[in-house]
Amino acid sequence: MTTPTPIRVADYRHIVLLTGAGISAASGLPTYRGAGGLWTTHNVAQYATGEALKADPRGVWEFFARVRALIAAAAPNKAHVAIAQVEQTLRAGQTLTVLTQNVDGLHQLAGSSNVVELHGSLRQSRCTRCDYVRTEELSSSPAECPACPSCSACLRAAVVLFDEFLDADVERSAKRALRECDLFLAVGTSGTVSPASNFVRAARHEGARTIYVNLEPMVPANPEFLEIVLGPADVVLPALLGVATP
């Protein structure tokens, strides 16, 4: 594990953190591609594509219902809390934006208010046919696919599947944050899934300091990251951000 030198947060005006599944690992949630990850134990094509949704919406709902049950039992860990604490210390004119690939909502539970959910959220469901959307209470979310109360079509988790496009407003929010960024951290993510894989390049284009935080080095290495800090996010990130977490 790398022992990081704390960042002087006051030196930066617009901080952007890109977070992935690795930041929620200490909360007991599986990553996607690592050892024991969801896509090493489940078939991506069967559960996580638009084609799968068309072919078997009930099976896709039931898969995500199992993931929802895991999230319902999880709580934010020290990495989530550290980010939220930094946001609370910002002076006038400073911003902190979390661009998260996660769909678990743990950043918001920890207290972060400026969160862009790139891939949607399992805490919402929407209709496969009409515009109906509802908040999903994870602890009581049904295991079997419910019908839309508006049009009777199947509901689905409000997440972006592998062959679907990101929401246009979400993309605009991410690009706006990166245009002003002077400190960029990628935490708990391989950084290889588009469009997030392009974020560090956009940050470097703006002259930002770029830091990669993960358990393992990126392979192949991305020269756009100026610094690499290795270790569990819940241990490394509070030290790197210079905050004490309970």
Q: Which pLDDT does position 1 carry in this prediction?
A: 74
| Residue where the block lists tokens 């890109």 | 18
SS3 231: coil
DSSP state of 31: -
Q: Which pLDDT does position 237 carry in this prediction?
A: 97
Is residue 119 annotated as a catalytic residue, yes or no? yes
Cα(179)–Cα(217) distance, integer angstroms: 26
Helices (DSSP H) in the chain: which residue ranges? 38-41, 44-47, 50-55, 57-72, 78-88, 106-110, 168-179, 199-205, 233-241
Q: How would you write the pLDDT of the chain (246 residues) with one tens digit per residue?
A: 767 889 999 999 999 999 999 999 999 998 766 555 565 555 766 888 999 999 999 999 999 999 999 999 999 999 999 999 999 999 999 999 999 999 999 999 999 999 999 999 999 999 999 999 999 999 999 999 999 999 999 999 999 998 899 999 999 999 999 999 999 999 999 777 777 889 999 999 999 999 999 999 988 889 999 999 999 999 999 999 999 877
**pTM of this prediction?**
0.94
Q: Which pLDDT does position 190 carry in this prediction?
A: 79
Residues 6+ apart with CB under 8 A from 113: 87
Q: Does residue 246 have a cis peptide bond before it, meaning omega lies within 30 degrees of 0?
A: no
Q: Which pLDDT does position 197 carry in this prediction?
A: 82
Q: Tell me the C-alpha to C-alpha distance, in Å, between residue 95 and each of 1, 61, 178.
A: 29, 36, 11
Q: Is there a contact between 26 and 102 (Cβ–Cβ < 8 Å)? A: no
Q: Residues 14, 80, 107, 119: which is the catalytic one? A: 119
Q: Which pLDDT does position 219 carry in this prediction?
A: 84
The number of residues making up the chain comes to: 246
Domains assigned to the chain: 1-28+75-119+166-246 (3.40.50.1220), 30-73+122-159 (3.30.1600.10)
Q: Is there a contact between 100 and 115 (Cβ–Cβ < 8 Å)? A: yes
CA 27 from centre of chain:
13
Strands 95-100 and 115-117: parallel
